[in-house]
Amino acid sequence: MKSAYLPGLDEQTFLEGPHSRKWELAFLLRVAAEFIRGLRALHFVGPCVSVFGSARIEEEHPFYALAREVGRALAGLGFTVMTGGGGGLMEAANRGAKEAGGRSVGCNIRLPFEQKPNAYLDHWVSIRYFFIRKVFLFKYSYAFVVMPGGVGTLDELFEAYTLIQCGKIQNFPIVLMGREYWGPLLKLLRDMAEEGTISPSDIDLILVTDSVAEAMAHIEKHSVERFRLRRTKPPQRRGALAEG
């Protein structure tokens, strides 16, 4: 039975199977400490929209410009834009929010290889464990915008989708930006509905669009109006939202 603590790899070690009770208690305490640190860091960020997307897409790509526009538009609605804090489309969304005078925050993940928070964050917290990071990305968000991305983006998308489907979080809007990119996924969901593995109404939980204006109208209707959010003016920031 393995029980050694491996710095930076304790999540991997934990998932390898049972260890000594002393090791697992120590792991539990590290998890609790991460939660406390993250809760303290993010408590005052205000109602957020989490934007998910690839860290591998560079500034020259059209998707970068689209994510940047999304960030600006979300700031215009008064939301804090939250991302995973990394580069690529996460950076683009944070950049757009900051350029529009809105709040831009990140929930970064510590990895064995270097991943720095992007330069457009007003505030960020670096988290050791993926599952804790996802909790924070969902905890403070009233909507989710999903840009084109890879396996990590799909993981975040389906985590949000499952939590809403199962009633673990409220029916917050999920918007997928890029009809052509997400077309095969939408077809798969429709095939699943035809087979009866999901309900047809589950497909209605997602809006797929190329239009930032349509995405913002959808979020305003199903998030701002539904949850009766109102604009406030926090110090040195414009258009943040507070619960009404």
pLDDT tens digits, one per residue of 15-55: 888 989 999 999 999 999 999 999 999 999 989 999 999 99
Q: Which amino acid is at 237?
A: R
- Mean predicted lDDT score pLDDT of the chain: 89
Instruction: Give dist(CA 47, CA 144) in Å, integer.
Output: 12
| Residue whose C-alpha is closest to residue 74's, from 53, 46, 91, 93 | 93
pLDDT band at 112 (very low <50, low <70, confident <90, very high): low
Confirm if 165 and 196 have CB atoms less than 8 A apart.
Answer: no
Model pLDDT, residue 5 = 43
Question: pLDDT tier at 244 (50, 70, 90 boundaries)?
Answer: very low
Q: DSSP H helical segments within 78-119, as ranges?
A: 88-99
Percent of the chain with pLDDT strictly greater than 70? 89
Q: Is 84:52 a contact under the CB 8 Å cutoff?
A: yes
Tell me, what's the pLDDT at 235?
A: 41
Identify the pLDDT of residue 14: 85
Geometric angle at alpha carbon 38, from 36 and 42, rounded to 5° = 120
Quote the pLDDT of residue 116: 81
Tell me: pLDDT of 237 over 50: no
pLDDT recorded at residue 60: 97
Give the domain 47-243 fold.
Rossmann fold (3.40.50)
Boundaries of every domain in the chain: 1-43, 47-243
Does residue 234 carry a pLDDT above 80? no
Q: Which residues contact 73 (CB under 8 A, 6 or more apart)?
A: 96, 100, 212, 213, 215, 216
The pLDDT score that the predictor gives to residue 26 is: 93
67-77 pLDDT tens trace: 999 999 999 99
Least confident among 72-81, 132-141, 223-232:
223-232
> Would the pTM count as exceeding 0.85?
yes
**pLDDT band, residue 231 (cuts 50/70/90):** low
Which phi and psi angles does 117 have, rounded to 5°?
-60, 145
State whether the Cα torsion 210-93-105-109 is positive or negative.
Answer: positive
